[in-house]
Amino acid sequence: MDIKSKRIAVLSPVAWRTPPRQYGAWETVASNITEGLVARGWDVTLFATADSITDARLHAIIEKGYEEHPGLDPKVVEILHISELMERAGEFDLIHNSYDFIPLTFSRLIKPPMLTTIHGFSSPKILSVYRKYNDNNHYVSISDSDRDSELDYLATVYNGIDLSNLTVGEKRGDKLVFLGRIHPDKGTHLAVEVAKKTGMELLIAGIVQDEDYFNELVKPHLNDSTIQFVGPVGPVERDALFKEAYTVLHLNELPERFGLVMAEAMGAGVPVIAMDNGSCKEVVAHEKTGFLVESADDAVVRVGHIDTIDPADCRKHVEENFSIECMVKGYEEVYEKIFEIES
């Protein structure tokens, strides 16, 4: 069976453009899946915002992402976008859903099978939807750590990143870097604590997702020299940021689902110090591409060991495990299983 002759629809979120200009993890992964499939000869249609950039066919009814257009109602936009694909479902042999649980509610009403990449459970409350449609859907997890015991999974397929946007610097930077959502879950305040205890400069980059948290635990420590907030960064700015990094701090307080930032940092040759929580042990190779820690104080100690990590090992680890090519090959194997099951 030549499965590459099958018609694939990739459903991306519409909070941001696909790929996003700056922040947008799910849109990033949907884009990398789409472009990776097209590069390997698949017939792919991407359902995303109209300003999205892709080598696949693009179908859109939403001009811009609702996070970039405050006048839009997110729930209305979501339903219009998702239902557009479902009404055209008969044009495809497989729907690859990268848009969480809402599309599952259409799955018993359409003909083609649906594969859902579960990027994480935003709340335990949504598990009831995944469990209801477990018997007629196909699920993939993005890490072994982020699974629900009541769901059936075809595989774990790690997220793949675009390594062409990441370059290894000629020499190691001299700053601590935090990159990600400014939110208690991501431990931005712990990065501040490590910076103060080590006496090193800290660059904080990302979107502020929790204003109260930012104002109370991060903003009071900002200044023009030792601890700076540079805001959201796109691919070009991110690569420049990594050039300044001695290490990237990823001190997440809740279990990490995957952690694109960790893979991106290592792809640029930057070691990662991550809390041993959730998927971090699957992404960071302890004592080879960074360190897994139990606390901010443990991270302070490990900052002193960063020189033992070879940037080339970081890059190689990502090339072998978290490239777009690795991810797409994983999904091709999943597609083949689905077509066999459905035949």
pLDDT beyond 90 at 166 = yes
Q: Average pLDDT in the 143-168 region? A: 97
Same domain flag for 301 and 227: yes
Q: Is the pLDDT of residue 175 over 80?
A: yes
Average pLDDT for the chain: 96
* Mean pLDDT within 309-333: 98
Tell me, yes or no, whether 317 and 327 share the same domain.
no
Contacts for 255 with CB less than 8 Å, ≥ 6 apart: 145, 146, 277, 278, 279
pLDDT of residue 70: 84
Residue 296: which CATH number?
A: 3.40.50.2000
Q: Is 196 left (phi over 0), alpha (psi -120 to 50) or beta?
A: alpha
Q: What is the side-by-side order of every strand in the sheet holding 245-250?
A: 227-231, 202-205, 175-179, 245-250, 272-275, 290-293
Average pLDDT rounded to a whole number, residues 167-180: 96
Are 308 and 284 within one domain? yes
What was the pLDDT predicted at 86? 98
Report pLDDT digits (tens) over 204-231: 999 999 999 999 999 999 997 899 999 9
Task: Clarify whether residues 151 and 28 are in a common domain.
Answer: yes
C-beta contacts of 216-225 below 8 A and 24+ residues apart: 217/188, 217/189, 217/192, 218/182, 218/188, 218/189, 218/192, 221/192, 221/196, 225/201
* One domain for residues 189 and 119: no
Give the percent of the chain with pLDDT over 70.
Answer: 100
Instruction: Assess whether 200 and 89 both reside in one domain.
Output: no
Q: What is the pLDDT of residue 224?
A: 77
According to the model, what pLDDT value does residue 1 have?
Answer: 56
What pTM, to 2 d.p., does this model score?
A: 0.94
If asked whether residues 83 and 223 sit together in one domain, one would say no
Query: Given this model, what pLDDT does residue 225 score?
Result: 85
CA atoms within 13 A on the CB side of 113: 18
Percent of the chain topping pLDDT 90: 93
The pLDDT, as a whole number, for residue 78 is 96
Residues 236 and 156 in one domain: no
Domain match, 264 and 291 both: yes
Judgement on whether residues 169 and 251 belong to the same structural domain of the protein: yes
Contacts of 240 (CB under 8 A, 6+ apart): none
Q: What is the pLDDT of residues 90-128, one digit of tens each?
A: 999 999 999 999 999 999 999 999 999 999 998 899 999
38 and 176: one domain?
no
Same domain, 72 and 196: no
Closest CA to 324 of 25, 120, 58, 39: 39
pLDDT for 57: 98
Mean pLDDT of 300-319: 98
Specify the number of domains making up the chain. 2
> pLDDT by residue (tens digit) across 248-286?
999 999 999 999 999 999 999 999 999 999 999 999 999
Task: Tell me the residue range of the domain where 240 lies.
Answer: 163-321
